Amino acid sequence: MAGQAHPVSPLALPLPEMPPVPGVRVATGMAEIRYRAREDVMAMAFPAGTTVAGVFTKNRCPGAPVEWSRAALKGGKARGLVVTSGNSNVFTGRAGRETCARTAEEAARILGCKPREIFLASTGVIGERLPTEKLVGALPKVFAAVAETGFEAAARAIMTTDTFPKGAVRTATIGGTTVTIAGIAKGSGMIAPDMATMLSFLATDAKIPAPALQALLKKGCDRSFNCITVDSDTSTSDTVMLFATGAAKHPRVPAEGGAILKDFARALNEVLMDLALMVARDGEGAQKLIRIEVTGAVTARSAHRIAMSIANSPLVKTAIAGEDANWGRIVMAVGKAGEPADRDRLSIAVGGVWMAREGGVVDGYDETPVVAHMKGREVEITVDIGLGRGKATVWTCDLTHGYIDINGSYRS
């Protein structure tokens, strides 16, 4: 049935304590868009002057909320956010666009701002009209409940097939002043990197101009969310947004950012990486987290493509699910990536044990420690291409019967 609960991933991590972020008020509520008797709407309210950054899916069939938020991002200012789960408002034509407009207009009326200062995101089933009246009708009650606390409930309200809520927090200093960065995410399936890979919302009390904020978020996503994959499918709704309320009092940050944001960038990158790895840990049906490191490629970009070819290979992922040390499948995935590679220079290790070097099995290779490593919850694969200095690291999960069970009954 819709919204059916699945067993919590054995790779799950506990939700950390999520302290308030000055200037951010959060609330959740029920609109019963698809799920019954659970919160499925999350809203945030921000003070005037809040800046915003965002990265979105590269899928050529994006949802109406993605198109709305992309357009709104050009203004660089935000006063509100509305997120719904259960229906992605994708492939819904004019009706989808009208739902977005009405949602933004109602939120703007409540908050006393312009509709283009309201950002939207939705996740769930594709191709079904989102019940506009239910959503719009729920907004007054949801926004009436906004409070400084509430990130924990927000992380749960945006879940679909997720088995655990995802959140992360860090502090940083800007000119000697401490600021907070907190974020939540949802994602479990239809996860492949292309500018976001799911839904994630971050907020900080720092005062950072939109151009600098955008540059930091884009770079951080490339190092985190764009380095994970569950099933090679890029969602139509992928969205990551970062809101800066400016409540903290610190030295002025120039539009281009610069050295003053060095520690902020460090903290932001840590939050993004925490959230990205939680998504990989919650891959639909996942039993193992897989780290893939590629070195010796001709360029870093080439290394990333090779790593993703391995991470997205159903044969590699099922071998790991079955705890089968079949390194031949890794060779196959390297070769099909379409990147420069030389069979006779290729080296492969699992769990730190080199299995193959220079196109053949290592003399005296003992599979015993590799098999023992593969029985654990976290598996490490290392590949050296032997052609250059390019390197990359990506994360994925194994492919089990659970993935089929979850997705085979997703709409029923």
CATH of the domain at 299: 3.10.20.340
- How many other C-beta atoms can be found within 10 angstroms of the C-beta atom of residue 355? 20
Residues in the chain: 412
- pLDDT average per 10 residues of sequence, the chain (412 residues): 67 96 97 88 98 91 93 98 93 94 98 98 90 96 96 94 94 98 85 58 98 97 90 76 98 96 98 95 91 98 97 95 94 96 96 93 95 97 98 95 74 51
Query: What's the pLDDT score for residue 2?
Result: 41
Q: Strand 199-204 vs strand 239-244: parallel, antiparallel, or unpaired?
A: parallel
Distance between CA atoms of 342 and 334, rounded to whole angstroms? 10
Q: Which of 238, 262, 281 is the last residue of a domain?
A: 281
Is 237 annotated as contributing to ligand binding? no
**Are 196 and 295 contained in the same domain?**
no
Contact 264, 220 (CB under 8 A): no
Distance between CA atoms of 265 and 11, rounded to whole angstroms? 27
**Are 326 and 275 contained in the same domain?**
no
- DSSP code, position 267: H
**Are 385 and 248 contained in the same domain?**
no
Query: What's the pLDDT score for residue 189?
Result: 59
**Are 368 and 399 contained in the same domain?**
yes
Q: Which of 253, 281, 309 is the last residue of a domain?
A: 281
Residue 197 annotated among the catalytic residues of the structure? yes
* Residue 17 included in any domain: no
Query: What's the pLDDT score for residue 3?
Result: 44
Distance between CA atoms of 333 and 327, rounded to whole angstroms? 10
DSSP secondary structure string, 155-216?
HHHT-SS-SS-EEEEEEEEETTEEEEEEEEEE-SSS---SS-SSEEEEEES----HHHHHHH
**Are 370 and 394 contained in the same domain?**
yes
Query: What's the pLDDT score for residue 57?
Result: 87
Query: What's the pLDDT score for residue 195?
Result: 36
Distance between CA atoms of 230 and 279, rounded to whole angstroms? 8
**Are 264 and 358 contained in the same domain?**
no
**Are 255 and 313 contained in the same domain?**
no
Question: In 3D, which of 372, 388, 391 has the Cα closest to residue 380?
Answer: 372
**Are 236 and 309 contained in the same domain?**
no
- Residue 103 sits in which domain range? 25-281
**Are 209 and 113 contained in the same domain?**
yes
Number of domains in the chain: 2
**Are 272 and 294 contained in the same domain?**
no
**Are 247 and 301 contained in the same domain?**
no
Is 87 annotated as contributing to ligand binding? no
Which is catalytic among the residues 50, 92, 197, 396?
A: 197
Is 284 annotated as contributing to ligand binding? yes
Is 186 annotated as contributing to ligand binding? yes
